Structures are given as C-alpha cells and as structure tokens.
Chains A and B, each alone.
Chain A
Amino acid sequence: MIEKILLVSLVLFMIAIALLLYRVIVGPSMPDRAIGLDTIGVNLISSIAIVSILLTTKAFLEAILILGILAFIGTIAFSKYIERGVIVERKSNR
C-alpha cells in the first residue's frame, strides 16, 4: 500500500518536472527560466527522498543535502547574472 502511494507521488513529481521543463524551454524571460530550474531542483530533492524510502536506504541523504546546496548556489549565480550581467565581480563599487 505505502509503496503504491510513494510510486504515485513519484509520478506526480515527474509530471511537475515535465511542466517545469516546458516553462524552462518556452519561458518568455530569463527570470522565468531561473525560477523554473530552481523549482526543478526542489522537485528532484523530493524525488530522491521518495526513492530512498522505496529502496529503504540512508545512502542518499547526503545527495539530498548536496543537491539543495548546489541548487541554491546555482540560482544565486543565475539571478546575479540576470541583475548585474556579471557573476564574479573583481571589486564592487562601494
């Protein structure tokens, strides 16, 4: 029973990722794509958690944390590029 519920939620996450992929490809502006990629990362984290319940293993918990960190840094880098046009500044003008 619990396995069926987990599989159904996994399928729902896959549908959500497919819809977000549509937004990433079609998205009219760059911020749409950045937010779409960030949300794909969050959905992937949830899918990894469900897969690790299905396989009854704790080996993927580090992968969840690492994916969260990388999605965070990637989104910040994207948004800084969109706002400033540069990711790594040599010297900020303050």
Chain B
Amino acid sequence: MKANKLKTNDLILQFTAKIVFFIIFFFSIHIFFAGHYTPGGGFVGGLLTSSAIVLLVIAFDLKTVRKILPINYMYMTATGLILALATAAFPIFVGKPFFTHFFDYFDLPLFGKTSLHTAALFDLGVFLVVVGVTMTIIQTIGEDE
C-alpha cells in the first residue's frame, strides 16, 4: 500500500488523542503509585506512559510530539539507571547491606499520615528506564524511511 498524497483531515482522531492521552497518563501514574499494595508498579506504569506517548505519535507525527515533549529518551534511561543504582547503593554508606530499603511514616500536608518507602525511588528508576527504552525504540524505528 502506498501513501496517498491526498490532503487528509484526522480531526476526530486528533481530538480523541488529546483527551485520551491524559486519561492514560493519569491512569499510569495511579498504576505506578498503587504498585506497593495492589497489582501494578514501575514496569506496567512505564509501559502505559509510553503507550500514551505512542498514541500521540500515531495521531500526530514525530516532529510535533518532539516539540510537545522535548525529551531526550536516552538521557531518561540513563537517569533511571542512575536513580535505581543510587537507591540500591545508598545503604552501603550507612553500614547496611546492599539493597536494604528503609521506610517511615510522615505527616504530610494534604495527605495526612503517609508511609514513604525507598522502594518507590527504585520503582521510579524502573519507570524511567522502561519509558526511555520503549520511546527510543519507537522513535528509532519511526524515523527510518
């Protein structure tokens, strides 16, 4: 099938993508933070975020999406790896074994009594790596003519 040169108008697709992008993105944030007690976590959240960006890429084109989200996804992968490694290596400097996690309860404004766990930082690293790798693959394949 060859690409036709007719002027096409994807009004419905682009309008739907603009709304559904935010639904998928906020759902992925929910999946990311719910990972400690319910199904979910960094990997599924990262895949959902990248699928939201893929929806934008399909509805618009690579150049527009790069203008909307000016992110170098390779740096994103590197940031995630450094974050995960730093979270895992931090206990060495306070005399605990590698990969020891800490948690405590804090009184945050607006949230009340919240338990914060360093496993969430490790999960954030996984999230960034998954989004970065997936978007790097899709951008690299999409740019190939």
Contact = CB atoms under 8 A, between A and B. Distances in A.
Interface of A: 59, 62-63, 65-66, 69-70, 72-73, 76-77, 80-93
Contact of B44 (A59, A66, A73, A87): A66
B39 to A, nearest CB: 5
Interface stretch (B55-63, B72-80, B93-101, B107-115): B55-63
Interface in B51-97: 51, 54-55, 57-64
22 contacts: A59-B38, A59-B39, A62-B34, A62-B38, A62-B40, A62-B44, A63-B39, A66-B31, A69-B24, A73-B55, A80-B58, A83-B8, A85-B1, A85-B3, A86-B3, A87-B58, A89-B61, A90-B63, A90-B145, A91-B63, A92-B60, A93-B7
Interface residues of B, number: 34
Decide if the interface of chain B is mainly helix, strand, loop or mixed.
helix
Q: Please list the 8 inter-chain residue pairs (A to B) with the smallest Cβ-Cβ separation, ordered nearest first.
A: A88-B142, A89-B61, A85-B1, A92-B61, A85-B3, A91-B63, A90-B62, A84-B3
Given A88-B62, A90-B145, A66 B3 contact: no
Nearest to B62: A90
Interface of B: 1-5, 7-8, 13, 20, 24, 27, 31, 34, 38-40, 44, 48, 51, 54-55, 57-64, 138, 141-143, 145
